[in-house]
Amino acid sequence: MQERFNEPASNFMKKMVEYALSKKLGLDKECIECQFGRIVINDSTVFQLPEEYKDKYKGSGGGASKAGIKNQYCFDLLSQEIIDITVQEATIPDCRYPLQDLRANDLRIEDLGYFKVEKFRVIEKAEAYFLSRLKFGVNIYILENEQYKQLDLLKVVGKMKAGEVKEMRVYLGEKEKYPTRLVIEKVPEKLANEKRRKLTTDKQNKRKGISKKRLILCDVNAFITNCTEEQLPNHLLRQCYSLRWQIEIIFKAWKSFFNIDKVKQMKVERFECFHYGCLMLIIAGTHLLRYFKQWYLNKHQEEISELKFFKLIASMKHEIKEVIQKQNNSLADFLDQLTPIIERTCVKEQKKNKLKPLTILRNLT
């Protein structure tokens, strides 16, 4: 016990976050049924810190601060269970973030920052599945007469018509030659031009410059997966990949309602205590979200809005603190008080021309 009091407060808070991740608050509910055991999504959110923190939290510098922090977040979309939260320096590449809690029959959805051919091989070896966009610049081969021949993707795209979908068996990596399923979808010209506009206005791309080939490939959506066509049909690939955007909604809630990116001038140790304390509140709120999403789904076959829910939870952080400090019967009373408020204020609305995640998951069932 004496050792605990002697260690820095920030280290103790970090251990408390790890402990909070291991607890479920007794709120376990059945998750959404799906052909996959879990749909695992991970991504990172980065924000700048005062430059005085640069020795501990290195930032990108340049036009940004020399200090920055990155939070890696990994969760199961079906159950809303948090798998991992890791705090890093802002400069650590996403591709160095290891696979967390890999299980058979997982479907792992990641963005291009995590693209690594060897990682796909590890996922498949574990009898799990992945869905990723194809990374520009990776070498692609096809097998002809038992010989590997490099695929001219521009030539393939040039022959496709808008709305056409083409599936191919390809091999990724000059050395790896990893076999996988490639699905290419030719998008409408308006959408392709919008993709090109975003690509050319991105600050990072402006510094590097964009090749003509990369701009041409904005004409298509290209996905790779080890799922069979029966497991994940071509027409559902884009819908399924769009589920990854649920993590962006979560990050928006972190910043909008929990103010995790609002850092005032203070000692770095004090900042760490605030940061880990904020993560603990987020973890508690996520456990509650998990409970209420499944409860509302069972009762109404509809979804709870993550943004609306986290806004409500952030406004009740003092009440949550009191509940955590008391016994379990106070938690039941708290849930009873929350129930009518959530039914009245937290239902997810149907946006025009957009499918709800629940609809997409039902399509996958």
The amino acid at 72: Q
Of 144, 145, 170, the C-alpha closest to 156 is 170
Q: How far apart are CA 324 and CA 26, in angstroms?
A: 12
pTM recorded for the entire structure: 0.89
Handedness of CA 352, 197, 170, 95 (dihedral sign): negative
Rounded to 10°, the helix 306-314/328-345 angle is: 130
Contact 131, 240 (CB under 8 A): yes
Q: How far apart are CA 82 and CA 361, in angstroms?
A: 19
Dihedrals phi, psi of 122, to nearest 5 degrees = -65, -45
Coarse DSSP helix, strand, coil percentages of the chain, rounded to the nearest 5 percent? 45, 20, 35
pLDDT at 3: 44
Q: How far apart are CA 254 and CA 258, in angstroms?
A: 5
pLDDT at 28: 54
pLDDT by position in tens, the chain (length 365) = 444 444 566 677 777 777 777 765 555 555 677 889 999 999 999 999 999 999 999 998 877 789 999 999 999 999 889 999 999 999 999 999 999 999 999 999 999 999 999 999 999 999 999 999 999 999 999 999 889 999 999 999 999 998 999 999 999 999 999 999 999 999 999 999 999 998 888 766 555 678 889 998 999 999 999 999 999 999 999 999 999 999 999 999 999 999 999 998 899 999 999 999 999 989 988 988 988 988 898 888 889 999 999 999 999 888 877 776 776 567 788 888 889 999 999 999 888 778 888 888 888 87
Strands 106-109, 38-49: pairing kind: parallel
Q: How far apart are CA 68 and CA 1, in angstroms?
A: 33
Contact 83, 76 (CB under 8 A): yes
Burial of 317 by CB count in 10 Å (0-12 exposed, 13-18 middle, 19+ buried)?
middle
Burial of 84 by CB count in 10 Å (0-12 exposed, 13-18 middle, 19+ buried)?
middle
Contact 68, 91 (CB under 8 A): yes
Q: How many helices (H) and strands (E) does the chain have?
A: 14, 10
The amino acid at 189: E
DSSP code, position 267: -
pLDDT at 278: 92
The amino acid at 202: D
Contact 57, 42 (CB under 8 A): no
Q: How far apart are CA 197 and CA 187, in angstroms?
A: 15
Burial 138-153 (b: 16+ CB within 10 A, else e): eebbbeeeeeeeebeb
pLDDT at 155: 93
Of 279, 266, 277, the C-alpha closest to 49 is 266
**Residue 271 has which token pair?**
């900042």
Longest dimension (CA), the chain: 72
Burial 163-186 (b: 16+ CB within 10 A, else e): eebbeeebbbbeeeebebbbbbbb
Contact 294, 31 (CB under 8 A): yes
**Residue 149 has which token pair?**
């021949």
pLDDT at 5: 42
Q: Which residues, in sequence order, are CB contacts of 124 under 8 Å at separation 6+?
A: 130, 226
Q: How far apart are CA 267 and CA 213, in angstroms?
A: 48
**Residue 263 has which token pair?**
């850092």
